[in-house]
Structure 1
């Protein structure tokens, strides 16, 4: 099904695309590409509760430069959510282990390089996939450990109020986290909320969960080249938080990159500005880096 069909090689084809996660769950995505030859493929791995249209500007930008880009919604989110979110059962880990892994299977071709551009959770998700060896490199933004102790005091206080005072009664009433009502993103399934809240209490996030003893080894198995970017005004994923999580990619070729808004002519970046209008200089720098790997 097509939203827009390219008329010539300089126009972007934008196509709605359904594909299956590894367990057969049907996911909703959008593919962006030119009609001309494709340099490489990019999967955009979204942040928690961020619907795929948020990444449209970046997808169009990369497509115009010759990349095929796939954005998609994880199960339980936006266009990949069931009609009724209450009672929908899933694990937060499914987004990586089954959904992102399904996207990798869907797009991977031996002859064309495949990259992941991850945002927040998206950078965490690669280590959960069983087919990470099919990914040539990952470039992620704002990926951290989630623990409020890494945040500046004001943000730490706000986050703790949300987790401990605001969210619990709302979730108990609704049976899911109605993030959309709080203008924070798409609504989230109960399982995602419960696990996220639990893991964010620990400096090493889900690596501290005794119910997940195999996670460290799964991340150690990843040998993909990874570029991990933190904006110095991203209070949710400052460099210390990024390192606390990314260090578990013990055998990956890791490069940490710190950026400041002023370096790109921006007033701020924060946790969401990596993909907002005006972030084109950040994307250009990333694309230049990825092109060295093609």
Structure 2
């Protein structure tokens, strides 16, 4: 289960080596999204677009974004529609599909942030790694590095987590959503509240070992994911109960034409007590980030 999160509001400010600015841009359908850019004062080596996990506001990734900016990468984070700064004043009655975050929001972010002069790398966390296959402009992404991306089926989880998830999905949440009209995720200190449509589809798809690829109403997804040829580096922490290697393989197999690199990591290897599903971006995870940024540096074409 997602651990307790703490978020901080980000405002425009200047650091010694990079600048932080709040910005806005439109999704593919014109929906207004709020983002935060982290721009190095020195020459920009490449760009990194951060695609968040489900219900995790962009502010959670601030520490990583600042770290990457100090290494010469310009970073853009953003909140999906219905989440945190990109949410309407009232979630009840707000209609959307879980797939909109990829098909509409991430597409808009890629168009807004991409630059023909610089490589664009996508960093995806959980759903963020799923979202690339939903985009129509994935060809603009040089490579994706994703953490904790899996199929979401409880059967891939350890017994204790499996039971917990079953109780929450099938007993606790249905009555809450029926009463509030949205998923009050924040009440459980799990992240931001989620629109009803996101909850309904997420719950439905997590009941199947192959996630939304088994949904007869989503047959087009097989074609969309097969079209992706972007190199993918898919990381799974061996203590991430929500996205263990089996879960990752079950999902990533559908990126069947993308050059794929599977990376398993252990907390001990990075001097950490645990990683879990959220620890990829927590304080002390700099060694994990260094491994990723080194890969990005290797993919940056040499200057002419």
Same fold (TM over 0.5): yes
Is residue 120 of structure 2 the alignment partner of residue 114 of structure 1? yes
Q: How does 1:119-268 map to 2 (within 5 A)?
A: 119-268=125-274
Tell me how far 1:111 sits from its aligned partner.
1.1
Whole-angstrom distance in 1 between the partners of 2:74 and 2:32: 21
Contact persistence 2:17–2:42 (CA under 8 A):
no
Aligned residues: 291
Is residue 287 of structure 2 the alignment partner of residue 278 of structure 1? no
Tell me how far 1:78 sits from its aligned partner.
0.4
Per-residue CA deviation, residues 76-102 of structure 1 (Å, 9 max, x unaligned), is: 000000001000000000000110111
Whole-angstrom distance in 1 between the partners of 2:133 and 2:86: 22
Tell me how far 1:2 sits from its aligned partner.
6.0
Q: Extract unaligned runs of 5+ from structure 1.
A: none
Q: Provide the secondary structure at the position in 1 that maps to 2:182.
A: coil
Is residue 88 of structure 2 the alignment partner of residue 64 of structure 1? no
Q: Provide the secondary structure at the position in 2 that maps to 1:211.
A: helix
Whole-angstrom distance in 2 between the partners of 1:139 and 1:5: 28
The TM-score with structure 1 as length reference comes to: 0.98
Whole-angstrom distance in 1 between the partners of 2:126 and 2:66: 20
Corresponding residue for residue 61 of structure 2: 55
Whole-angstrom distance in 2 between the partners of 1:74 and 1:64: 25
Q: CA RMSD in A?
A: 1.0
Tell me how far 1:3 sits from its aligned partner.
1.2
The TM-score with structure 2 as length reference comes to: 0.95
Q: How does 1:25-64 map to 2 (within 5 A)?
A: 25-64=31-70
Whole-angstrom distance in 1 between the partners of 2:55 and 2:18: 27
Corresponding residue for residue 18 of structure 2: 12
Q: Extract unaligned runs of 5+ from structure 2.
A: 1-9
Tell me how far 1:208 sits from its aligned partner.
0.4
Which residue of 96, 99, 108 maps to 2:105?
A: 99
Per-residue CA deviation, residues 123-150 of structure 1 (Å, 9 max, x unaligned), is: 0000000000000000000000000000
